[in-house]
């Protein structure tokens, strides 16, 4: 029993010593400064873009803007890689693989533009959200999924309004 009292006394005296030391002045609050979240002094080369020696061309700028538009408006269903397997794809929907040369050669730029503008099946229309230049940029971006030949076929001209109704498989 004496050892229990001795252990309790030691614990009590340790507790008193700790609490006595905590009775000092509270630590002053400090105002946040940008230096609190400064950038590392040594950049990680795997996460740092390469320095460009030449300014971005108009075509590169347009392609980068089209990719950003694709990622924001289309990739959730069609996938970032254009294979039709995006995480937001409706269950059971069979979306086109835009990387397929057969699919690319079976659609005109006008057909693609009409489906983007007016929608088809489960795909909603984007004609009210995108202007003709945005639609043309997306058509060019879809063509880039098919490789250089499909991208060259797309050209840089804005997509025209189709004169004939596209076939039923354009958006699927």
> Could you read off the pLDDT of 30-78 as tens digits, one per residue?
777 777 666 667 777 787 777 778 888 999 999 999 999 999 999 999 9
* pLDDT of 80 higher than 70: yes
| pLDDT confidence of residue 30 | 77
Backbone angles phi, psi at 153, to 5 degrees: -65, -30
Could you state, in order of their start, the residue ranges of all structural domains in the chain?
Answer: 63-85+95-154
Question: Would you say 84 and 97 are in contact if contact means Cβ atoms under 8 Å apart?
Answer: yes
Q: What pLDDT score was predicted for residue 51?
A: 79
Find all residues with CB under 8 Å of 169, minimum gap 6, and list them.
96, 106
Can you list the positions of beta strands (E) in the chain?
none
Of 119, 104, 95, 111, residue with least CA distance to 159: 111
> How far is Cα 140 from Cα 109, in angstroms, rounded to an integer?
8
CATH number of 63-85+95-154: 1.10.760.10
Per-residue pLDDT tens for 104-148? 999 999 999 999 999 999 999 999 999 999 999 999 999 999 987
pLDDT at 138: 96
């Amino acid at each position: 029993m004496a050892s229990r009292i001795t252990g309790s006394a030691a614990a009590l005296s340790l507790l008193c010593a700790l609490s006595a030391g905590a009775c000092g002045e509270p630590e002053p609050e400090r105002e946040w400064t940008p230096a609190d979240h400064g950038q590392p002094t040594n950049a990680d080369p795997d996460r740092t873009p390469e320095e460009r020696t030449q300014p971005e061309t108009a075509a590169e700028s347009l392609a980068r803007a089209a990719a950003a538009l694709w990622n924001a408006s289309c990739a959730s269903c069609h996938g970032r890689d254009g294979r039709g397997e995006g995480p937001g794809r409706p269950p059971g929907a069979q979306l086109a693989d835009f990387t397929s040369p057969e699919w690319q050669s079976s659609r005109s730029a006008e057909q693609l533009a009409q489906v983007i503008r007016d929608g088809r099946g489960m795909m909603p229309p984007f004609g009210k959200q995108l202007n003709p230049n945005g639609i043309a940029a997306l058509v060019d971006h879809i063509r880039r999924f098919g490789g250089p030949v499909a991208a060259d076929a797309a050209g840089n001209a804005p997509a025209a309004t189709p004169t004939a109704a596209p076939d039923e498989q354009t958006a699927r």
